[in-house]
Amino acid sequence: MSSAIPLTGTPFPKSEYERRQQKVLEAIERAKLDGLLVTAHGHLQYLTGYSGKGGYFAPFPLILAPGRTPTLVAREYELGAVRAESCVAEIVPYTEQNDFARVCGDTLRRFGLQNKRLGFELGCWNLAPADVTAIQAQIPEAKVIDATRLVASVAAVKTDLELQAMRAAMVLTDVAVRTFQLSLREGITESEVAADIDQEVKKAGGELQAPATTLLFGERTKLSHGSPMDHPIGNNEPAFMELGGLKQGYSAGIVRTAVLGRHPETESLHALSVEALDAVIAAIKPGATAGEVDAAGRKVIERSARPKVLNHRVGYQTGINWTERGNLSLEPDATDVLQAGMTLHMPIILCGEGGYLLGTSEHVLVTERGAEILSHTPHTLYRA
């Protein structure tokens, strides 16, 4: 869906967004809600094409209600960008932060929702408690219902267009992995390797999910989610990366570990990570619960000689913005049921006795036959 402004428009046709909105409207009715205010930026992008980045000022709620035209409440200053980068025809502007709740209240009253059951993404980013309180003050008879997971549950199952974007993103991720591996030599810095990766990914016609790149060498691999710095790798040291290619707003993350020379803790941690990852992949199929998949990998760790090296979940739902709250999570006792068409990332990063955080991952598509691995770079330890 194009715009008159160069290099703008939505990544997908309007019909794709209408299909997504309809699926969410069906979920709203199943949840016995009368309307939903979508405020999480990843969910706005999923439903409209607009990234929501102008919503740092105050929320930009997309109001969805059965029988009503989808309506976005947005800051007047941002209207040019919202119109150019979204598929939403009905936009109601506000000017200042103290106008936000009043305009939301007026719009909800116009829709006849002022005394109805309204879903709010209470557990997601981009909606503060004060925002909810301010809206409630405008429509005190409305009942606020937590709908944190409603949009995420719809977005979990990908369409063919979304899967094309995920596969294209993984092609870029594979370029990044190969560049990471081939760039490693004694004395090169994290920043230099990161720059090499950016250059090669751009040559391949894409970009990386920002600001999510983790690229660390040596003792700095003890930092979770650390950013690349001017730190060189020495002989007999590990190198760790977690990043994702980005295509049409969809990101495909991966974790890979390498070693320059030999490093016993890296080698032993990585071997255990591979064993756990293989068990997780084998457990993925439609009908399995997220908790069962987590347990498959966790059991491998617990029966090893190092039962405490896994201190986090084994994976999560992916698509737009893999850090969105409310997404399906592969964690202990989770009851979400896997369905064909879901994409999942399983970073099995283990914390060794020396504090190193190392491991591997795969990004998969859930199919009727089980897990289809999307990456074409092996999850074995790379020896530089």
CATH of residue 62's domain is 3.40.350.10
* Domain identity same for 242 and 112: no
**Residue 266, domain member (yes or no):** yes
- If one counts the domains in the chain, the total is 2
**Whether 119 and 180 share a structural domain:** no
Tokens at residue 339, please?
């369905």
Q: Are 334 and 294 in contact, with CB atoms under 8 Å apart? A: yes
Last residue of one domain, picked from the residues 124, 155, 186: 155
Quote the pLDDT of residue 13.
97
Span 315-324, mean pLDDT?
92
pLDDT of residue 165: 98
Q: Tell me the pLDDT tens digit for each residue of 63-110.
A: 999 999 999 999 999 999 999 999 999 999 999 999 999 999 999 999
**How would residue 333 be classed by pLDDT, with cut points 50, 70 and 90?**
very high
- Structure confidence at residue 4 (pLDDT): 84
Q: Is 188 helix (H, G, I), strand (E, B) or coil?
A: coil
Counting residues of the chain whose pLDDT is more than 70, the rounded percentage is 100
Q: What percent of the chain has pLDDT over 90?
A: 95
Residues 146 and 227 in one domain: no
- The pLDDT assigned to 323 comes to 84
**In terms of residue numbers, what domain contains 346?**
160-383
The reply to whether the predicted model has a pTM over 0.85 is yes
Confidence of residue 211 (pLDDT cuts 50, 70, 90): confident
φ, ψ of residue 242 in degrees (nearest 5): -135, 120
Model confidence at 199, pLDDT cuts 50, 70, 90, reads very high
Nearest partner of 170 among 228, 252, 261, 100, judged by Cα = 252
Give the tokens for residue 243: 């990043």
Looking at residue 321, its pLDDT comes to 80
- Whether 54 is covered by a domain: the verdict is yes
DSSP string, 251-319: EEEEEEEEEES--HHHHHHHHHHHHHHHHHHHH--TT-BHHHHHHHHHHHHHTSS-TTS--S-SEEE-S
In three-state secondary structure terms, 44 is helix
Which of 155, 178, 209 is the last residue in one of the domains? Answer: 155
Domain final residue pick, 123, 155, 187: 155
Tokens of 69: 């035209």
Residue 174 lies inside a defined structural domain of this protein = yes
pLDDT confidence of residue 93: 98
Tell whether 54 and 199 lie within a shared domain.
no
Residues 173 and 149 in one domain: no
CB proximity list for 297: less than 8 A, separation 6 or greater: 276, 277, 279, 280, 283, 310, 314, 346, 348
pLDDT greater than 80 at residue 212: no
Decide the pairing of beta strands 90-94 and 382-383: unpaired
Q: Is residue 7 part of a domain?
A: no
What is the average per-residue pLDDT within 43-53?
A: 95
- State how far the Cα of 106 lies from the Cα of 35, in Å rounded to an integer: 14
**DSSP strand pairing (117-120 vs 35-38):** parallel
Question: Do 149 and 185 have their domain in common?
Answer: no
pLDDT band at 156 (very low <50, low <70, confident <90, very high): very high
pLDDT of residue 3 exceeding 80, the answer is no
CATH of residue 263: 3.90.230.10
Q: Look at residue 315 and tell me whether its pLDDT is greater than 90.
A: yes
Tell me, what's the pLDDT at 308?
Answer: 95
pLDDT at residue 324, as a whole number: 87
What integer best gives the mean pLDDT of the chain?
A: 97
Contacts of 145 (CB under 8 A, 6+ apart): 31, 33, 117, 118, 119, 120
Which band of pLDDT confidence, cut at 50, 70 and 90, is reported for residue 374? very high
- Compute the average pLDDT of residues 339-365: 98
In a domain, 300, yes or no: yes
Query: Cα separation of 46 and 5, whole Å?
Result: 21
Residue 60 pLDDT? 97
Q: What is the CA radius of gyration of the chain?
A: 22
Residue 378, in any domain of the structure: yes
Q: Do residues 30 and 133 share a domain? A: yes
| Claim to verify: residue 319 and residue 206 sit in the same structural domain | yes
Selected residue with higher pLDDT from 3 and 229: 229
Examine the domain organization and report whether 179 and 103 are in the same domain: no
Paired tokens of 366 = 């859930």
In a domain, 199, yes or no: yes
Tell me, what's the pLDDT at 294? 99
Could you tell me if 198 and 281 lie in one domain?
yes
Pair 352, 309: CB distance under 8 Å: yes
Residue 6 inside a domain? The answer is no
Q: What is the mean pLDDT of residues 141-169?
A: 98
CA 266 from centroid of its chain's CA atoms: 27
Q: In this structure, are 349 and 230 located in the same domain?
A: yes
Same domain, 138 and 233: no
- Write out pLDDT tens, residues 250-289: 999 999 999 999 999 999 999 999 999 999 999 999 999 9
Check pLDDT > 80 for residue 340. Answer: yes
